[in-house]
Every structure is written in C-alpha cells, then in structure tokens.
C-alpha cells in the first residue's frame, strides 16, 4: 500500500487503538468492541479497512468465532523538514519459531531484547546523522533551484525531482496541480537544459 494512504489510515485514533490492542494477542470482534468501548459498526468498519490495508487478518478457530490478529511487521517513517516531506515504510517477514524452540528462560530473552534495543538506538543515531546531512544538501539545493526556476511552479517541479526521476502524472498527483501545468513546466525547463526526458520519465 502507498505509504501516504497508510498514514491516512493510521491517522484515526480508534484504528491505532485497535492495532495497539491486537499487539497483545488475537481478539475476537466482541472483545475489541467492549475493550475499546466503541460501537460494533464502527469496529467492523475499522477492521475492514485495516484488513484491506494488510495490517490485520481474520481467522477462525474451533466453532464460528472469528479472531483478528496483526499480519504485518511494519515500520512507518515520516520525514519532515522545511524543504521536504516524505513517508516511507519498511517491513520484514514474520518470525515463526520452530516447533522444537521453547522460550523457557525469560531473563535470557530479556537480555536479547536489551541487546537489540541498543543496536536500534545506534542505528537511530546514524540515521539522524544521515538525515541531518540530507537536509543540509536539500536546503542548499532549494536555494540553488531559484537560479534555474523562473516562477514558483517551476521551482516546485524541480524540488520534487530532487527526490528522483518521475513521470508528469506522478508529479501532478504529488504537487496537487493539473498534469498539463506540470507538463508545461517540464517542457520549458527541458528547452533551457535544466531537466531531461527519457520516454515518459523526467529527471534533473
């Protein structure tokens, strides 16, 4: 699913509460409604949306009772700065322990989690450094872009292309302006040698 759509889905507090609840264990429908004190129809709508997004899944055990559980390992990252806005998702395969594996030593598991947390914090520190350098470069690029753009519309197109090659239709959706306006900007920039076109893809 598109990260922006996923961000919209998670923008609802009750959907986030459902996910938080399901992170504890699988729940059946009535349990979710009672635990969150949310109307049954609203819970059904939220679960349906989360299921279509691939975040939860439904299954049945003995009998007809349906349970819901989380179905994805997912990290959603939002990057915001004066010159950029981006949403990225990172996922991994679910881990299913082998039948012979038994978690009998909780202290050992806690130690393993502590080691992983330390590694995660180090990776976060490195990511912050990378993002800081990225923002500096994007800030310089945003200033330099005004030397090539003759108006705000061209400036917005060039800023969008800083993230990588793109089609006019994609730029139109991202910038929320009509495609013909984007194409007009791109053609003018191409004539001045600022951008280049390869098929339907435009790049700096």
The three state secondary structure string of 101-120 is CCCCCHHHHHHHHHHHHHHH
User: What phi and psi, each to the nearest 5 degrees, are found at residue 81?
Assistant: -150, 170
**What's the pLDDT at 141?**
87
CATH number for the segment(s) 149-203: 1.10.10.10
What are the domain boundaries of the chain? Answer: 3-74, 106-145, 149-203
- pLDDT recorded at residue 4: 83
The reply to whether the predicted model has a pTM over 0.75 is no
pLDDT computed for residue 88 by the predictor: 82
Look at residue 99 in the predicted model and tell me its pLDDT: 46
For residue 204, the cross-strand partners are none
Question: Per-residue confidence of the chain (204 residues) as pLDDT tens digits?
Answer: 788 889 999 999 999 999 999 999 999 889 999 999 999 999 999 999 999 999 999 988 766 788 999 987 888 888 787 777 778 887 765 555 554 555 568 888 888 889 999 998 999 899 889 888 888 888 888 888 888 999 999 999 998 898 889 999 999 988 989 999 999 999 999 999 999 999 999 999
Domains 3-74 and 149-203 agree in fold: yes
- pLDDT at residue number 142: 82
d(CA 73, CA 13): 20
Q: Which pLDDT value is given to residue 101?
A: 54
Percentage helix, strand, coil for the chain under 3-state DSSP, each rounded to 5: 55, 20, 25
What per-residue confidence (pLDDT) applies to 94? 55
pLDDT of residue 73: 84
The architecture in CATH of the region 3-74 reads Orthogonal Bundle (1.10)
Residue 52's pLDDT is: 93
């Amino acid at each position: 699913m598109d990260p922006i759509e996923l961000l919209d889905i998670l923008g609802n507090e009750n959907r986030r509460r459902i996910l938080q609840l399901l992170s504890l264990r699988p729940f059946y429908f009535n349990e979710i409604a009672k635990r969150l004190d949310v109307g049954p129809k609203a819970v059904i709508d939220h679960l349906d949306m989360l299921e279509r997004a691939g975040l939860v899944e439904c299954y049945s055990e003995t009998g007809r009772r349906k349970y819901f559980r989380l179905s994805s390992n997912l990290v959603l990252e939002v990057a915001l700065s004066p010159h950029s806005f981006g949403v990225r998702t990172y996922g991994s395969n679910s881990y299913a322990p082998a039948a012979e594996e038994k978690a009998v030593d909780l202290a050992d598991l806690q130690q393993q989690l502590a080691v992983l947390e330390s590694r995660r914090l180090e990776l976060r520190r490195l990511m912050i450094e990378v993002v800081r350098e990225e923002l500096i470069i994007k800030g310089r690029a945003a200033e330099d872009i005004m030397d090539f753009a003759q108006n705000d519309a061209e400036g917005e197109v060039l800023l969008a292309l800083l993230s990588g090659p793109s089609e006019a239709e994609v730029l139109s959706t991202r910038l929320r302006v009509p495609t013909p306006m984007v194409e007009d900007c791109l053609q003018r920039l191409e004539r001045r040698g600022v951008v280049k076109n390869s098929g339907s893809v435009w790049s700096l």
